[in-house]
Structure 1
Amino acid sequence: MQQHEPPMDPSSSEATGPQLDRARAQGEAYSRALQYMVEEVAHDGGTKQAGEYTVGYAIEEAEGLYSFSDGRLTWQNPADENVHVEITVQDAADGRFIPAVTVTATLVSPSGQEMGPYEHELVWHPMLYHFARNWTVSEDGDYTLRVHIEPPAFMRHDEINGRRFTQPVDLRFDGVKIERGAEPVTPPRS
């Protein structure tokens, strides 16, 4: 599905060749899960490289999610939302998922209506961490998806390879196929 950049520098005391091999193996496993999501589950999806990131998207029907409210987990079904936009952010060097970035997205409809930008939250998924949000759109068709990523604020371990992910990136996906819909409302089991 995607080609990664050459491996990171193994000459530091924090990143040996065997350690970087293991990082690449994690990235390959994540990329296989993403490929399955895009090709077998989603209505549409794809990836692009943007600087030190590989950014992907998947389009599905709006879906229910758990979220914390007043200190407890609550299930929320889609109300008027009719599409679920998922965005993945990977290290272009090894394919691993990058957490703690701020991801915002804007959709432009086939008729030119601009929606957003809206922040997409981190979603723990049993198969694939991603950033996502349910949207309400007014029409089916080919959309433009603009994604903005702010660099992560996390600490970086490694004096050589740790000096990455310091710049924001913007990218655009054209021809994003959206078919409105929502998954059937099924309350979770107690």
Structure 2
Amino acid sequence: MTSTRGTLPGDPGSSEATERQLELAAAQGDAYRQALDHMAQDVAKAGGTQQVGDYLIGYAIEDAEGMYHLENGKLQWRNPGSANAHVEVVVCDAADGRFIPGLSVSAALVTPDGQELGPFPQELVWHPMLYHYARNWELPQDGEYTLRVHVDPPAFMRHDEINGRRLAEPADAEFDKVTIERGSEPVDPPV
């Protein structure tokens, strides 16, 4: 038997998922949200979230960091070089809180003196705790920035004749007074 319970006020519900399946999806979202809140509030130098339509968009600012990149079939470590900030963006389904993969996400920063940097694409990053979209940035100064995030609607298929009619519009979020303290974490990965 399928559920007709909606996951958001005004949500028409589901023609495919049972109550138990919707509960399991919500539990996934709750676990992801705990990780997101930990990253944004306890680990990052700055962070926050806002709902925009069907999306919950969040950010975290950290020191620029090294990462592995797959090049010619081999993982290569790249330190941040001259980058001095790491901007992470998360995009979740506002209905159940689960991370949305496969998106085209871009971000722009407006410096304290009004210079716009970007927009630049934010790439999907596998993280041991929290999938997110991110990139290292080279910023000219510390201070209060404005972060603008743009999300294109996902191109993936949607299952569910009722609940699948979502995530079809682009979304734009703006976060004001984002305090950024520049820094960098170059490391030597273990051999």
2:64 partner SS: coil
In 2, the alpha carbon distance for the partners of 1:31 and 1:188 equals 29
Equivalent residues of 1:10, 1:17 under 8 A apart: no
| Contact in 2 for aligned 1:6/1:93 (Cα 8 Å) | no
Partner of 1:173: 175
CA distance in structure 2 between the partners assigned to 1:35 and 1:59 by the alignment: 13
SS at match of 2:26: helix
Distance 1:11 1:59, change over 3 A: closer
User: Which amino acid in structure 1 is aligned with residue 155 of structure 2?
Assistant: A
Looking at structure 2, the residues matched to 8 and 16 of structure 1 have their Cα atoms a distance apart, in angstroms, of 15
Counting only pairs closer than 5 Å after superposition, residues 9-28 of structure 1 correspond to structure 2 as: 9-12=12-15, 14-28=16-30
**C-alpha spacing 1:131/1:7, structure 2 compared with 1 (3 Å):** farther
Q: Which amino acid aligns with 2:169?
A: Q
Q: What is the aligned partner in structure 2 of residue 154 from structure 1?
A: 156
Unaligned runs of 5+ in 2: 1-6
Distance 1:11 1:54 in 2: 20
Equivalent position of 1:186 in the other structure: 187
Q: Which residue matches 2:8?
A: 5
Alpha-carbon distance in 2 for matches of 1:40, 1:117: 27
Whether the aligned pair in 2 keeps the contact of 1:10 and 1:20 (CA below 8 Å) is no
**Structure 1's 143 and 11: CA in aligned 2 closer, same or farther, altered over 3 A?**
closer
CA RMSD of aligned residues (A): 1.3
Unaligned runs of 5+ in 1: none
Separation in structure 1 between the aligned mates of residue 49 and residue 29 of structure 2, nearest angstrom: 14
Q: What one-letter code is carried by the residue in structure 2 that aligns with 1:5?
A: L
Task: Give the TM-score normalised by structure 2.
Answer: 0.93
Q: Secondary structure at the match of 1:54?
A: strand
Aligned pairs (5 A) from 1:42-61: 42-61=44-63
Question: Does the alignment pair 1:62 with 2:64?
Answer: yes
Q: For residue 18 of structure 1, what is the amino acid of its counterpart?
A: R
Please tell me the residue identity of whatever aligns with 1:146: R
Aligned equivalents of 2:187 and 2:181: distance in 1? 21
What's the secondary structure of 1:27's corresponding residue? helix
What percentage of aligned pairs have identical amino acids?
Answer: 59
1:187 is aligned with what amino acid? D
| C-alpha displacement of 1:71 | 2.2
Find the aligned partners of 2:32 and 2:163 in 1 and give their Cα distance. Answer: 21
The match for 2:166 is 164
Q: 2:119 matched to which residue of 1?
A: 117
Change (3 A) 1:22 1:9: farther
Matches within 5 A, 1:88-167: 88-167=90-169
Secondary structure of 2:184 counterpart: coil
**Mapped contact 1:8–1:20 kept (Cα < 8 A):** no
The amino acid that maps onto 2:141 is E
